[in-house]
Structure 1
Amino acid sequence: MTVREMRPEDEPAVAALFAACEDYFVAATGNPALPGDVQSLYYALPEGADFDQKRLLVMCRGADVVGLVDVVDRHPDVESCAVGAFLVAPEARREGIGSGVARRLIAEAAGRGMRRVTATVPRGWEPGLGFLRSLGFEIGAPESEAEGTVGNRTRHPEETGLCTARLWLVDR
């Protein structure tokens, strides 16, 4: 398993990953992913963040892309990072790939002085809720406003019921 920066030539594989992860997109937005959603990853930033803070990582098993991590570093403050999407292909789930990669990235964030990691997860989407809880995240109640900044991007009106999860990397 390798984790590396996403490259433009990865777009078809990431589009296929999005299609395979329909359960996540339906839970988050009520609709499956669209072809343009991959390209929108490059531009999806919360207010106040710069493009140099954005990291798009792919998880690869051999030459196959089996996962994606979308992170904005040093957001919403300099001691935090925000995860917008953390996808693992259905055929690779429950193999420890996601938790192994997440633990590696969390350790890397802590080593760079981060104190907190935030993520978003659709209310009631048990695969994501269970995954985050297994990593030690605290799951908050769904955000009340229909539109605003959540996690590492601006939430759209169709994204209702997203919960914010927080992981403290140091004692508060």
Structure 2
Amino acid sequence: MKSARTAVCRGAAAGNRLAAMLLDLEVDGRALRVRDLEPDDEPDVLGLFEACEDWFGHAFGQPAMPGDVQSLYYDLPEGAEFEDKVILVIEAEGRIIGLVDAVREYPGRGACSVGSFLIHPEYRRYGLGRTVASALIGALVADGCTEVIASVAEGWRPGLKFLDALGFASEAPREAAPAHRNPGPGERPTVRARLRIPAAPPAS
């Protein structure tokens, strides 16, 4: 049975639970840690990107490059605020095996938009991604989030199946929205998927 052992969030302020994040989880006896990206993580994140060449090739038409790590910091959709940018890494067995790139309060109050959710190929199909995603969604819900919006490259079946399993509803593909980065030579349209979270009933 897959189980989440602990989930500890350190928020800088109310409504900002994905800032200063620390999650400790366990899946089938394998310990996971979700934390903020740090400057010293750059080489390991590039290694993760290179390992995920299947996704980069499909989504952008080219392999990952060193500049892709730096672009994480300023890749924002139009109208988003830099202080709402969240970049998390997932650690297992002493290495970075995943990354989550999101923007809080976008495209509106109570929403959270997820741009990338990568898991190293060696760690896929063990339920790690679903466990991490569920824990992060739980943290958002605890802060009053009412909608999570994820984007996946058109035709990327693993991502579409992953979102469907989490309860997201997919929309029609659309061209990638303008962002603070240079598009890849073969960048595909994206499919937006939404997870609407019902408001909690008022306390009796």
The TM-score with structure 1 as length reference comes to 0.91
Deviation at 1:21, TM superposition (A): 0.6
Between structures 1 and 2, the one with greater strand share: 1
Deviation at 1:149, TM superposition (A): 4.4
Q: What is the one-letter code of the residue matched to 2:102?
A: V
Note closer, same or farther for the CA distance 1:154–1:36 as it changes in structure 2 (3 Å cut).
Answer: closer
1:69 corresponds in structure 2 to: 100
2:73 corresponds in structure 1 to: 42
Provide, for residues 70-99 of structure 1, a one-character-per-residue CA deviation record: whole Å limited to 9, x for no partner: 010111101100001000000000111100
Deviation at 1:155, TM superposition (A): 8.3
RMSD of aligned alpha carbons: 1.8
1:110 corresponds in structure 2 to: 141
Question: SS state of the match for residue 108, structure 1?
Answer: helix
| Equivalent in 136, 142, 156 of residue 173 of structure 2 | 142
The TM-score with structure 2 as length reference comes to 0.77
Q: How many residues align?
A: 167
Note closer, same or farther for the CA distance 1:154–1:118 as it changes in structure 2 (3 Å cut).
Answer: farther
Deviation at 1:162, TM superposition (A): 1.2
Deviation at 1:156, TM superposition (A): 3.2
| Equivalent in 175, 185, 192 of residue 164 of structure 1 | 192
Q: Is the 8 A contact 1:148 1:155 kept in 2?
A: no
| Equivalent in 59, 71, 76 of residue 28 of structure 1 | 59
Provide, for residues 107-153 of structure 1, a one-character-per-residue CA deviation record: whole Å limited to 9, x for no partner: 1111111111111111211111111111001111110x4x5248xx7
Q: Which has the higher contact order (CA 8 A, sep 6+)?
A: 1
1:100 corresponds in structure 2 to: 131
CA distance in 2, matches of 1:121, 1:155: 18
Question: SS state of the match for residue 42, structure 1?
Answer: coil
Q: What is the one-letter code of the residue matched to 2:88?
A: L
Between structures 1 and 2, the one with greater helix share: 1
Question: SS state of the match for residue 72, structure 2?
Answer: helix
**Which runs of 4 or more aligned residues in structure 1 lie more than 2 Å from their structure 2 counterparts after TM superposition?**
147-150, 153-161
Note closer, same or farther for the CA distance 1:68–1:91 as it changes in structure 2 (3 Å cut).
Answer: same
Q: Is the 8 A contact 1:46 1:154 kept in 2?
A: no
2:156 corresponds in structure 1 to: 125
Q: Is the 8 A contact 1:70 1:84 kept in 2?
A: yes
1:83 corresponds in structure 2 to: 114
In our comparison, the structure showing a higher alpha carbon Rg is 2
Consecutive unaligned residues in structure 1, runs of 5 or more: none
CA distance in 2, matches of 1:27, 1:70: 18
